[in-house]
A and B are shown apart, each in its own frame.
Chain A
């Protein structure tokens, strides 16, 4: 397994280097001189001179990139123009909030998506399957920010059951924290539940036709035992790996969800940074998300090997 991980990390290095080039190249998309844009409307000559020196703008682009990536490798992703805080520190502050939201959304998605996928596959071709598929497709088609707005309207404004916005750290008040995050987690988890349902259904359909399931039935095992112990356990292998990869989608979905529910997380940080033209923060976030996504892919491959020992050294 160690050799496999080492090989995967080696293969991932060029990808990470290219992500960094892409992120660095983003600032050159800015129309005109990026430093003038970064300097804001005042365009103070001193600030411009400082920024020009800091970003080594008079150097050739490859030299600028090497200086930038050198700093990034030591954890220096630059400083936020707005708060003057180091970008990495800002991300470190906001990330736990988003991770809590993503984790709760994942729980929602698993609780809905996997049972729905199993039932739909088991009842293939019946009205249950048909309804489950329509609901899943609807879940994929509904914009989650609109779902959030509608839930706020119904649950908070009309019924007054849950708060419409805000955040309470889990470490301070776990119950309140879960209560505040419940609605955003449902909003974020719905689309993911639909994706998980479709993957689970497809995996279960394949497994339910397998010889070992027929053998289990022939041995006289109860249907529940056959479906849960024999079929679902094997069908879950690809589903688990898909779930790992979907974590990236959760981070992206959090951008809108946090905006609607005013949650001070990673997603709100990126949107605020965009509007404040805090480009170092935007670059830092895209770089961190990209690297995290590559890491999740490696984790997904490793999990697949652990859960499916038949892959052996061939993978």
Chain B
């Protein structure tokens, strides 16, 4: 028997005289200067993080004892820190920790949250009730306090900070995936798929998941911004990246002790966090507008 694709039978999803939804969303995103600026900022930091080993900067732990807390100069454009390490070099390497933390934490949250949310939205009943109450309980504790508690019990390290942030962000994705799955389940093409005997897993994989990706993508982009601030906060408190490995948050933790004598130590890591978070927020806002189903 030839498999019938219910989406192909669904009229009006994409009118024949319009380009596909993905192309329209992409065209709309490209017309949004704020989103393009956000994407550019994110891309810049991603390239810097990836190229850190080949960029002409000293090693992040390389100390120059003759230039302890030296002001910005040609040799050290962003100055040096309390151990004579080049602040620019540590910023470049710190970008790896920050971006990695943002992406990995959100990947953890997505990997755990989306299947749980889809299960709740698909099965409903008791499964939904149990998952929803569990999600509400996790959402009840403020994000950072929960992340601090997880990080405290797991022990201070960048990996544990990422796990802590991922676990704390997970309920957002459970709730979103559940709601979106419930909405998609009422669509005719899903009912058609079920009617022609498509199995549960195939229905979820082929018809539900692809249709809930856009809102998940928007939420993931915005949550990366939150996760980067959370990692910086945990590292600032000493619960994230451990010395001598650099991270923007841990650089600020040290810098706060030398505000009067070496203010540059605090200036640059903060600007970097601000810019990269702003980039993800601008991109996330742009994606939300571009993928808004009312406009597509």
Contacts and interface: CB of A to CB of B under 8 A. Distances in A.
A23 B140 CA distance: 12
| Residue from B133, B153, B267 whose CB has the most chain A CB atoms within 10 Å | B153
16 contacts: A18-B133, A27-B153, A141-B274, A143-B233, A143-B270, A145-B252, A149-B259, A150-B267, A252-B144, A255-B148, A255-B237, A274-B148, A274-B151, A274-B152, A274-B237, A290-B137
Contacts of A256: 144, 233, 236-237
A242 B155 CA distance: 34
A143 to B, nearest CB: 5
Given A145-B252, A149-B270, A282 B152 contact: yes
B89 to A, nearest CB: 20
A256 B238 CA distance: 12
Interface in B103-155: 133-134, 136-138, 140-146, 148-155
A273 B153 CA distance: 11
B223 interface: no
Interface in A16-43: 16, 18-19, 21-23, 26-27, 29-31
7 tightest Cβ-Cβ pairs between the two chains A and B:
A146-B270, A18-B137, A252-B142, A141-B278, A274-B152, A252-B144, A141-B277
B266 A150 contact: yes
Nearest to B237: A271
Given A255-B148, A256-B233, A22 B138 contact: yes
Contact of A15 (B140, B152, B233): B140
Nearest to B271: A146
B204 interface: no
Contacts of B177: none
Interface in B80-122: none
Contact of B274 (A146, A279, A286): A146
B239 interface: yes
A270 interface: yes
Contacts of B155: 31
A5 interface: no
Interface of A: 14-16, 18-19, 21-23, 26-27, 29-31, 137-138, 140-143, 145-147, 149-150, 152-153, 157, 248-249, 251-253, 255-256, 259-260, 270-271, 273-275, 279, 282-283, 285-286, 289-291, 293-294, 297
Contacts of B141: 19, 22, 286, 289-290, 293
Nearest to A274: B152
B54 to A, nearest CB: 29
B292 to A, nearest CB: 14
Contacts of A282: 148-149, 152-153
Interface of B, secondary structure class, is helix
A275 B273 CA distance: 25
Nearest to B276: A141
Given A256-B236, A293-B140, 10 more contacts: A15-B140, A23-B149, A27-B153, A138-B278, A140-B281, A141-B278, A145-B252, A157-B260, A270-B145, A282-B152
B282 interface: yes
Contacts of A253: 144
Contacts of A31: 154-155
Contacts of A147: 270
A75 to B, nearest CB: 20
Contacts of B239: 274
A14 B133 contact: yes
Nearest to A148: B256
Nearest to A248: B142
A275 B151 CA distance: 11
A257 to B, nearest CB: 11
Given A22-B138, A137-B282, A146-B270, A285 B259 contact: no
A16 B138 CA distance: 10
A26 B137 CA distance: 14
Contact of B285 (A137, A142, A150, A153): A137
Contacts of A275: 238
Contacts of B136: 15, 18
B128 to A, nearest CB: 13
Central interface residue in B134, B155, B259, B282, by most chain A CB within 10 Å: B259
B52 interface: no
Contacts of B232: 143, 145
A219 to B, nearest CB: 33
A138 B145 CA distance: 23
Interface string B257-273: 00110010011011001
Most chain A CB within a 10 A radius of its CB, from B225, B263, B282:
B263
A289 B151 CA distance: 17
Contacts of A22: 137-138, 141
